[in-house]
Structure formats: structure tokens, C-alpha cells
Structure 1
Amino acid sequence: MFIRAYLRASTDEQDAGRARTSLEKFASDHNKVIACEYLENASGAAADRPELLRLLKDARKGDVLLVESIDRLSRLPADDWAKLKSAIDAKGLRIVALDLPTSHQGMRDTQGDEFTGRMLAAINSMLVEMMAAIARKDYEQRRERQAQGIQKAKAAGKYQGRPVDEELHKRVKELLAAGLGIRATARHATCSTTTVLRIRDAV
């Protein structure tokens, strides 16, 4: 069994590797080892996440996609989530989330008799869909509260906006101009690939 761990944080200031210990312990408790790790700082509401896309490209039928929770995998709108889920299913990946006990069966080498396996898979699929919908709803509510807070701050003349890291922007532009790719630039500039793309597209 090949276990591919996906670790994500929303911003560059957050530690995407925070859940590594929990994922490794979970795998160990099931007498398994994480074979490959995909780590990135990107919004779960973004469909174009380089490391997640790389995971899907690398994946083989029967592999496990291990995440801390479904919201690490997706905060996508319904249509984008449907496309991602379809790509995951097409690859034959098993989604296993630490906070979704029904998914833990995916860590077993054998799934028991066919009827039980199919029933558990159906129940798990339904719960994964529900958790993805909840994750999206939570994202939308937080965005709405954030927008309300900004409007209130603007009305009070207190909103400053997020400061631009001029040094980082300069460094990224230099690396890209030197011919480095997105991932190499992110590595050398110590930022996320999403940040590199944002700076590149703002040029």
C-alpha cells in the first residue's frame, strides 16, 4: 500500500507541516509508513494547487490520499469539488482523513467481504461529501465576516490593508527572470508556489 500524505496551510505565515506528526503516528498505528509527502501553502478554495495536482499525477490505483481533515483537501465550490473528487476517483485513490473514522478502513490491505466493503465505501463517500460541503460553508462564512470587518474598519478610517513585502516581490521577480520554474522559485524565495504565481501574474 502506497500512502501519499497531503499537508496544506492557507497562508505563507502558517505551518503547512504542522500535521506531519499526527499523520505519521496515524500511519504507524495502522502498521504503515507514509511513502510520499505533498506540502503546500495555498487556499483550499483554489482548484489550481501545484502539489495537489502533482499528487494526482503521481498516484496509482489503490494508493491512499491521507489528510488531517477533509477541509485540508477542499474548501472548493460544489462544481470544482465535483471535478477534484472525480479526478481522485478516476485515479482509484482512497481518501483517508484522521477526523473521519469511516475512512480509516482505507488503511486496510483487505476490505473484508464485497458487500460490507461496498456498504462502508458508500457511507464514507456520503460523509466525505458532507464534510466537503461543511468546509466550503465555513470558508464562505469566514470570508463574509472578514469583509464585514474590513467595511467597518474602512468606515472608521482604520483599514490599512495588507502590507506588500517588497523584498520578496523583488526576489521572486529576479528568480523568474533568471529562468527558474515556479516550484524552484518558491523554494529559493522561501514562499509558496501560490505566492510566486500571484507575484508573477501581477507583473
Structure 2
Amino acid sequence: MFIRAYLRASTDEQNAGRARDSLERFVQDQNKAIACEYIENASGAASDRPELLRLLKDARKGDVLLVESIDRLSRLPVDDWNKLKAAIDAKGLRIVALDLPTSHQGLRDTKGDEFTSRMLSAINSMLVEMMAAIARKDYEQRRERQAQGIQKAKAAGKYQGRPVDEELHKRVKELLGAGMGIRATARHANCSTTTVLRIRDAAG
């Protein structure tokens, strides 16, 4: 069984690998091991996520797509989610999420009672759909509250935008100054390559 773990964080400042320990403990409890990791900083509402697309390209029938929760996989609107789910199904991937117990059967041998297996698969598919819808709704509500907060702060003359992470900027500049490449810098600074490029370009 080939287990592909997908780890995602929404912003460059967050640690996309934060859930690694939880995922590893989970598969170890199932007497399995993670074979490959795909880590990126990108919004779950974006359909163009390079690492997720790479995972789908690499995947083979019967592989497991392991995530901490369904919202790590998707906060997509319904049309984009349907396209992603179709791509996952076409590859024969089994989605396993730590917070969705019915999905855990995906880490177990498929031999046994076919009727029970199919029933559990159908129930799991329904719950995945439901959780994907909830994740999207949560995303939309948070965006709406954020926009309202910004408007209120602007009206009060208090809105200054997102603060700059001075320590991250300093670290990236030091790594680049030492001759390190973009990808290596991103890895050592624990941020995305997009952030590295933005800091580099801003420094002129």
C-alpha cells in the first residue's frame, strides 16, 4: 500500500508541515508508513496547487491520499471540488482523513465482506462530500467576517494591512546572500518559494 500524505497551510507564514507528526503517528498505529509527502502553502480555495497536482500525477490505482482533515484537501467551490474529486476517483485514490473515522478503512486490507466494504465506502463518500461543503461554507463565512472587520477598521482609521514578518525577511535575505537557491532558501526558512521571490524582488 502506497500512502501519499498531503500537507497544506493557507498562508506563507504558517507551517504546512505542522501536521506531519499526527499523520505519522496515525499510520504507525495502523502498522503502515507514509511513502511520500507533498507539502505546500496555498489556499484550499485555489484549484491550481502545484503539489496537489503533482500528487495526482504521481498517484497509482489503490494509493491512499492521506490528509489531516478534508479542509486541508479542499475549500473549493462546488464545481472545482467536483473536478478535483473526479480526478481523485479517476486515479483510483482512496481518501483517508484523520478526522473522518469512516475513511480509516482505506488503510486496511480490502478483503472480506464485499457488502460491508461497499456500504462503508458509500457512507464515507457521502461524508467526504458533506465535509467538503462545510469546509467551503466555513471559508466563505470567514472571508465575509474578515472583509467586515477590514471595512470597520478602515472606517475607524485603524487598518494598516498585514504586518511584515521582519524575522522571516531577514532570514531569507541572509540565505540568499549566502548564495543559496530559491528552493533551498524556502526550505530552510520554512516558507514558500513565492515568498522568497517576493522578498528578493522587494530588496531590489
Q: TM-score, normalised by structure 1?
A: 0.85
* 1:53 CA displacement: 0.7
Deviations 1:140-177 (A, max 9, x none): 00000000000000000111112567998999999999
Pick closer, same or farther for the CA change 1:154–1:179 going to 2, 3 Å.
Answer: same
**Partners in 2 of 1:140 and 1:165 — Cα distance?**
26
Alpha-carbon RMSD across the aligned residues, in angstroms, is 3.2
Cα displacement string for residues 37-65 of structure 1 (whole angstroms, at most 9, x for unaligned residues)? 11111111111111111111110000000
Deviations 1:5-27 (A, max 9, x none): 11111112111111111111110
Counterpart in the other structure of 2:65: 65
Unaligned 5+ runs, structure 1: none
Q: Distance in 1 between matches of 2:103 and 2:66?
A: 10
User: Does structure 2 conserve the Cα–Cα contact (< 8 Å) formed by 1:66 and 1:95?
Assistant: yes
- Cα gap change, 1:83/1:174 in structure 2, threshold over 3 Å: closer, same or farther? farther
User: Which residue does the alignment assign to 1:178?
Assistant: 178
Distance, in Å, in 2 between the alignment partners of 1:72 and 1:18 is 12
CA deviations on 1:117-156 (whole Å, 9 max, x unpaired) are: 1111111000000000000000000000000000000000
- Quick check: 2:15–2:190 contact (8 Å CA) kept in 1? no
Q: Is the Cα contact below 8 Å between 1:41 and 1:194 reproduced in 2?
A: no
Give the Cα–Cα distance (whole angstroms) in 1 for the partners of residues 46 and 201 of structure 2.
16
Mean Cα displacement is larger for which, 121-130 or 185-194?
185-194
Judged with a 3 Å threshold, the aligned counterparts in structure 2 of structure 1 residues 167 and 69 are, in CA distance, closer, same or farther, namely closer
Contact 1:71 1:135 in 2 (8 A): yes
Distance between the aligned counterparts of 1:26 and 1:126, measured in 2?
A: 23
State the distance in 2 between where 1:66 and 1:118 align. Answer: 20
| In 2, Cα distance between equivalents of 1:201 and 1:166 | 15
> Distance between the aligned counterparts of 2:21 and 2:162, measured in 1?
32
2:82 aligned counterpart, secondary structure: helix
Post-superposition shift, 1:189?
A: 7.0
Residues 179 and 137 of structure 1, relative CA distance in 2, 3 Å threshold: farther
Query: How far 1:199 sits from its partner (Å)?
Result: 8.5
Aligned-pair CA distance for 1:84: 0.5
Give the 3 Å change call, closer, same or farther, for CA 55–179 of structure 1 in structure 2. Answer: farther
Is contact 1:42–1:194 with CA below 8 Å preserved after alignment?
no
Q: How has the CA–CA distance of structure 1 residues 117 and 143 changed in structure 2, closer, same or farther, with 3 Å as cutoff?
A: same
Cα displacement (A) at 1:75: 0.5
Deviates more, 1:188-197 or 1:140-149: 188-197
